[in-house]
Structure 1
Amino acid sequence: MGIPVPKLTMKETIALIDQVIDERRPELFHVVTLNPEITMSCQHDAQLRNIVEEAGLLTADGIGIVMVSQLKRNPLPERVTGCDLLLQLLQLEGTNARTYYLLGASKETNQLAAEEIERSYPGVKVIGRHHGFYSEAEEERIIGEIEGLSPDILVVALGAPRSERLIHRYKHKLNARVAIGVGGSLDIIAGTVKRAPAIWQKWNVEWLYRLLNQPSRWRRQLILPRFAFRALMYKDKS
């Protein structure tokens, strides 16, 4: 659908982000975990399309994107979801352990996630955090706090595409090395939402597990067949 996703494995993605942090680049490195919902929105939302095109890295967040790439005979190697990416980054140890700022989720979930990260990943430091239910008037103060703390990785869990818009809007002020929109990952880390068992993940039906446990998601899931049809019919005009 005209959006180039690099053919990187999870291991290669981690290595790239690690390198970016070590290089201390002056500009923010925005990682967009691209899912079918964002991809479809990009077809009619010019601002979001621009955000995606300007991102430092896109990853295939969703088996739908990987499957379409395979059917189009230009296969991506694997899923690199926001949740898995965050968990893999947290597992880096020693000199590669990073500082984090957590923005998003509810007040309770945000606190629980920060406590769980520092308990489970020795060496990782959550140097700041704020829940996602803040007023417009508070936003500038929160951005100023992030700027002052200068985290290695800014984790934004405000939901897509709100996370992507915020990162892009303040990319010159955040003073972080890397910023990633991670969807509901803080809920999973905090334990307030249960992730699909490993076997569901292995068979790439994590979306079905979420639907069965959260039937209210059915309207969102309707976008998957629409995405698949449109992506398979897409012809590059260049």
Structure 2
Amino acid sequence: MNKNQLKKISTVSIYGISVCRWGMSDTVQYLTDAINSHVPHQVITANPIMVMTALEDPSYMSIMRNAELVVPDGTGVVWAAAKVGQPVQERVAGFDLLHEMLRVGENYQWKVYLLGSTPEVIQETASRLQIQYPMIKIVGYHDGFFGPDEDDTIIQNIRALSPDILFVARASDTQEPWIARHKDELAVPLMMGVGGSFDVISGKSKRAPKVFQKLRAEWLYRLLREPTRYRRMLALPQFVVKVLRDKDNVTKLT
């Protein structure tokens, strides 16, 4: 299977960013086919903060527009799609997508490389995922504390191990640009930024309780636990106000 044979993605345009309208099941099936096609795919788990960053930074906007798949991770993105009359099927959270791909990947014995977070967290994450998904092959991992001078070494190491999936857990202003910059060199079928997922998997931090998830208020839980995030969280109400103000032009503005 090549890229042209992959199913056409159903999307809604949010300020020129093509956000996938599929639910988890169709997304996982598409990415399964993508991995089996061996064609590099960058997956971005979009939230309002990332969209607002893209609107202010042309280079970041270019990264989001050129990603092979952008899924609606943030509740605000799901809300915006419904507001413009092109609703997505459901929120596709990056944390859940990571686990779904590993669950399916056991059937194929996919190889996985983990990149990011601290040395202690990445080691514990690799250990726990290998236990949880024994048929997956965690072929390598590296912490996220490296600079541009180490990029070539890390990329060559990843290429030598030839993983099917690369999960990158760095800050959102770092992980997506890093993947986009080195996508062709890495040549990994599925490359996805997963933010703080490794912290949760390793046990360093906890995911929002189910009640917050059902209320679509995981952002509030994170803010309550980490009040210092409030400046970053200001992008959420700014995004809502902008969508309401732009109304029908949200899908047209570029």
Question: Alpha carbons of 1:109 and 1:222: their partners in 2 closer, same or farther (altered >3 Å)?
Answer: same
1:162 to 174, 186, 193: 174
The answer on 1:19 being equivalent to 2:33 is yes
2:115–2:166 CA contact under 8 A, matched in 1: yes
Query: Which whole-Å CA distance do the structure 2 matches of 1:197 and 1:76 have between them?
Result: 24
Q: Which residue of 2 aligns with 1:181?
A: 193
Q: Which residue of 2 aligns with 1:130?
A: 142
Query: Which whole-Å CA distance do the structure 2 matches of 1:108 and 1:237 have between them?
Result: 44
Question: Alpha carbons of 1:173 and 1:3: their partners in 2 closer, same or farther (altered >3 Å)?
Answer: same
Query: Which whole-Å CA distance do the structure 1 matches of 2:207 and 2:57 have between them?
Result: 30
SS in 2 for 1:140: helix
Question: Alpha carbons of 1:29 and 1:38: their partners in 2 closer, same or farther (altered >3 Å)?
Answer: same
2:206 to 181, 194, 203: 194
Q: Which residue of 1 aligns with 2:5?
A: none
The answer on 1:55 being equivalent to 2:67 is yes
Q: Shift in Å at residue 237 of structure 1?
A: 5.0
Q: Which residue of 2 aligns with 1:9?
A: 23
The answer on 1:216 being equivalent to 2:228 is yes
Query: Which whole-Å CA distance do the structure 1 matches of 2:17 and 2:187 have between them?
Result: 27
2:16–2:65 CA contact under 8 A, matched in 1: no
Q: Which residue of 2 aligns with 1:226?
A: 238
Query: Which whole-Å CA distance do the structure 1 matches of 2:158 and 2:85 have between them?
Result: 42
* Cα root mean square deviation, aligned: 1.4
Query: Which deviates further from its counterpart, 65-74 or 116-125?
Result: 65-74
Q: Shift in Å at residue 94 of structure 1?
A: 4.2
Q: Which residue of 1 aligns with 2:11?
A: none
Question: Alpha carbons of 1:123 and 1:47: their partners in 2 closer, same or farther (altered >3 Å)?
Answer: same
TM-score (norm 2): 0.89
1:153–1:177 CA contact under 8 A, matched in 2: yes
2:38–2:188 CA contact under 8 A, matched in 1: no
2:35–2:189 CA contact under 8 A, matched in 1: yes
2:132 to 110, 120, 127: 120
Q: Shift in Å at residue 71 of structure 1?
A: 2.1
The 4+ residue runs of structure 1 with deviation greater than 6 A are none
5+ residue gaps, structure 2, are 1-14
2:100 to 74, 77, 88: 88
1:90–1:97 CA contact under 8 A, matched in 2: no
1:74 to 61, 83, 86: 86
Question: Alpha carbons of 1:43 and 1:93: their partners in 2 closer, same or farther (altered >3 Å)?
Answer: closer
Query: Which whole-Å CA distance do the structure 2 matches of 1:21 and 1:159 have between them?
Result: 25
1:154–1:180 CA contact under 8 A, matched in 2: yes
Q: Shift in Å at residue 93 of structure 1?
A: 5.4
